[in-house]
Amino acid sequence: MRSDRSKKGIERAPHRSLFKAAGFSDDELKRPLIGVANPFNEIVPGHVHLRQIVDAVKAGIREAGGVPVEFGVIGVCDGIAMNHEGMKYSLPSREIIADSVEIMAQAHAFDGMVLVTSCDKITPGMLMAAFRVNIPSIIVAGGPMLTGVYKGKKVNLISVFEAVGKVKAGEMSEEELCELESIACPTCGSCAGMFTANSMNCLSEAIGLALPGNGTIPAVFADRIRLAKFAGKKVMELVKKKLTPKKLITKKNFENAIAVDMALGCSTNTVLHLLAIAHEAGIDITLDTFDEISRKTPVLAKLIPAGEHSVVDLHFAGGIPAVMKELSKLGIIHLDAKTVLGKSVKEILKSVEVLDREVIRSVEEPYFKEGGIAILYGNLAPEGAVVKTSAVVPEMMRHTGPAKVFDSEEEAYEAILGGKIKKGDVVVIRYEGPKGGPGMREMLSPTSAIIGMGLGSSVALITDGRFSGGTQGACIGHVSPEAQEGGPIALVKDGDIIEIDIPARKLELKVSQEELEKRRKKWKPKRKKLTGVLKKYQMLVSSGAKGAVIE
């Protein structure tokens, strides 16, 4: 056993003494030690119930003959961190989560791990750590929350963000907003739509490092507890067979996950995170991989925010296995890919069927023939930019308009709510990239304000930052190179004409090369007074086009 290096032999008597000080028995020290990462805290709604999930995981480990060793991990609620300085810390937390899991696993020589997770950066951080440490591991999510009901309609967190714009536009009273905010998020769990948290938990399942149901079983269902117990048992099988993430998961698994990503119209953050996870796995995935798979993968579901269906609706329609079964008809799912269940994808899908065609459409009658995310290139984004096409209205798939340029999210948000953005405008928010922010903030507040003020079918937004999975509209993010690195987005001026052509994958600034060179000679990067983790992060982080990994 790997853990014997810290507990077996005469030389390890001092080590055993310390184990015993923590309450371990001699019998327990003969068994495999399984690290259980617990990001429980009392502020993230997707994590407030994780003690119960962790207890179930530990019960499963003990039942299968292992010894669970629980340890803590940090977590950020992106919704609470949104639209202020706190969001700068969200993406850096992904690296700290991966680092902390690595440190605990390596320092204490765990034989295996169960990585309990739920929300936005915690899940990708855990997946990165699983590949980096490369000991037998399983991901277990806390599950999605249920939707609320307000005036007879389903509501969720994004309903509240967009309602702020409606209040500013005079379409809703402050009293109604107060009522809505108390109803929109009715249970614990990751927010109810196909936002980043649920996207990544569904893709953990599609990639094969989580069990079927991981992405969609609601947080408040007993099935979630049973799944956690089963994961505890399964990790012991992986330990006995010495099946590590790098032995199980290949490029085929990642391509399966990307296909599911495209079929469901997941958060654009999945691009950022899958690139980073593949980097840790030593698997060659690029932005072009996403676009290639997107072009041959139909959109089969319209989930919140792109449509009315929640992740819970997806669960009752058959969940991720049903989506993969439907996609397999087109030959774009690798059926021979292995999973932590101990079965191939083909074996898992054998008895699966779509249970609700209102939620999961057939490949013959998709919402769109091409996938939910597209990669754009052009003189404004030489290294690429990302857009969630499934959340763009048809009339904004092609758009040309004048730029309204802002050097921070706050400036843009104030201008939108202040009525300074007009129909046809292209809002440009820059110096919000991985280095420029630093931290690549999500722009949910500005995008929600655009929708709430009735501009979603006439205004586009472009940024070197990123978007929440709750964003809808013609919102193009991850523009690379970013402004802080001297990318072309740093050279845009108010009134410059920008052309967006999503079907043609183009993002062009209609300014001559000669003029851009003149502007570049006058350009200087912005200097921000930074301390602590943000200072270190700015020094080390790479481009969004590479997944914003630390190099």
Nearest-angstrom CA–CA distance, 209 and 231: 11
Nearest-angstrom CA–CA distance, 101 and 74: 10
460: phi then psi, degrees, rounded to nearest 5:
-105, 160
Q: Which helix (H) or strand (E) holds 24?
A: none
Q: Tell me the residue length of the chain.
A: 551
> Rounded to an integer, what is the distance from CA 4 to the centroid of its chain?
36
CA-CA distances (angstroms) from residue 34 to 27, 49, 58, 70, 235? 15, 21, 9, 8, 8
The radius of gyration of the chain from alpha carbons, rounded to an integer in Å, stands at 23
- Token digits for 195? 């936002």
How is 392-421 classified by DSSP, letter by letter?
S-GGGSEEEEEEEEESSHHHHHHHHHTT--
How is 75-127 classified by DSSP, letter by letter?
---HHHHTTSGGGGGHHHHHHHHHHHHHHHHHHTT-SEEEEEE-STTHHHHHH
Nearest-angstrom CA–CA distance, 68 and 63: 11
Nearest-angstrom CA–CA distance, 111 and 239: 7
Task: Say if residues 262 and 372 touch (Cβ distance below 8 Å).
Answer: yes
Candidate list 267, 310, 458, 468, residue with the active-site label: 468
Name the packing angle between helices 409-417 and 157-168 (round to 10°). Answer: 60
- Token digits for 470? 């709750």
∠ CA 318-186-360 to the nearest 5 degrees? 20
Q: Is the dihedral of CA 119, 125, 128, 134 positive or negative?
A: negative
Nearest-angstrom CA–CA distance, 286 and 407: 28
Active site residue 468: yes
Nearest-angstrom CA–CA distance, 289 and 247: 22
How is 216-262 classified by DSSP, letter by letter?
TS-TTSHHHHHHHHHHHHHHHHHHHHT--HHHH--HHHHHHHHHHHH
- Token digits for 349? 């899908």
b/e string for 9-28 if b means 16 or more Cβ within 10 A?
Answer: eeebeebbeebeeeebeeeb
Q: Name the DSSP class of 29.
A: G
Nearest-angstrom CA–CA distance, 341 and 478: 34
Task: Say if residues 360 and 375 touch (Cβ distance below 8 Å).
Answer: no
Task: Say if residues 439 and 90 touch (Cβ distance below 8 Å).
Answer: yes
Residues forming the active site: 468
